[in-house]
Amino acid sequence: MTPIGHELGIENVSKRFVLSDASEVTAVRGINLRVAPAEVMSIVGPSGCGKSTLLRMIAGFEKPSAGRILLGGHPIVRPGLDRGVVFQQPALYPWLDVFDNIAFGPRMRGRPKNQYRPQVTRFIQAVGLEGSEHHYPYQLSGGMKQRLQIARVLINAPELLLMDEPFGALDAQTRLDMQELLLQLLQEHRPTIFFITHDVEEAIFLSDQVCVMSARPGKVIETFQIPFERPRLYADVAASPDFAALKLKILSLVHRKKG
């Protein structure tokens, strides 16, 4: 079973918020992006440039003020099981143990227990949580919680995975481990991925395309194609001269002075 992600199309999307004093904030303006099936796109850009707003519109939590967002050619109008969302702070059920947190999705979909049990066990192994099946979220480290969160989302085989700075709260070593784990998990199930990060190296390592956004109102400044073959190992990619050159180019755009 290898479900392949769907194409994501963002067409001329703008989002304006009207505040309580009737003033308006334009979070993003005129965004056009295309992510091919099973590709990974990362978004980098200054804080407040509308990255999370864009992700929430793709998730269906917010509606664009203009433009439209298509998944597999169909407009997104509401949240759906075809999309999995991973935030920086893992959304876990504190009253369920590791096994039941992962089993939650299949159970909600009415899958019979004998069918999802082996699948949950496989995901526990895949994210390295064996031995912690019966621990509760409060008993897990930050890295373990984030691994649990990813297992919980991937078991639903989403066509699109939306990740908003998922590793931002982790220490440097755990973050590298999580990046490699994510790539490894994707060998098997290959959703399309929309990934937000502050970390330019992380963006390059994980992605097929890296999109740099300007300060608010967020617009696309430039999108870079990332040439490294998959499967990737961090040490190999980081040692390549192409990596250093891309990193420098992207960083200079992210830190570009306005005006």
Least distance CB 215 / Mg ion (angstroms): 13
Q: Are strands 83-87 and 160-164 parallel, antiparallel or unpaired?
A: parallel
Binding positions for ligand ADP, 179-238, rule CB under 6 A? 216
Which tokens hold the place of 35? 């992510």
Do 7 and 192 contact (CB within 8 A), yes or no? yes
Q: For residues 169-195, b (16+ Cβ closer than 10 Å) or e, as one string? A: bbeeebbbbbbbbbbebbeebbbbbbb
Q: Please identify which residue in 25, 70, 169, 221 interacts with ligand ADP, judged by CB under 6 A.
A: 25
Return the number of the residue (51 or 175) whose C-beta is nearest Mg ion: 51
Which tokens hold the place of 203? 């963006």
Least distance CB 205 / ligand ADP (angstroms): 21
Binding segment toward ligand ADP, per CB under 6 A, in 41-49, 150-158, 227-235, 245-253: 41-49
Tell me which amino acid residue 70 is: L
126 binds ligand ADP (CB under 6 A): no
Q: Please identify which residue in 6, 29, 51, 145 interacts with ligand ADP, judged by CB under 6 A.
A: 51
Q: Please identify which residue in 14, 42, 52, 149 interacts with Mg ion, judged by CB under 5 A.
A: 52
Return the number of the residue (63 or 74) whose C-beta is nearest ligand ADP: 63
Q: Please work out, in degrees rounded to the nearest 5, the angle formed at the alpha carbon of residue 95 by the alpha carbons of 90 and 97.
A: 75
Task: Kindly state the number of chain residues that form the binding site for ligand ADP, as judged by CB under 6 A.
Answer: 12
Do 168 and 178 contact (CB within 8 A), yes or no? no
Q: Residue numbers of the site for Mg ion (CB under 5 A)?
A: 52
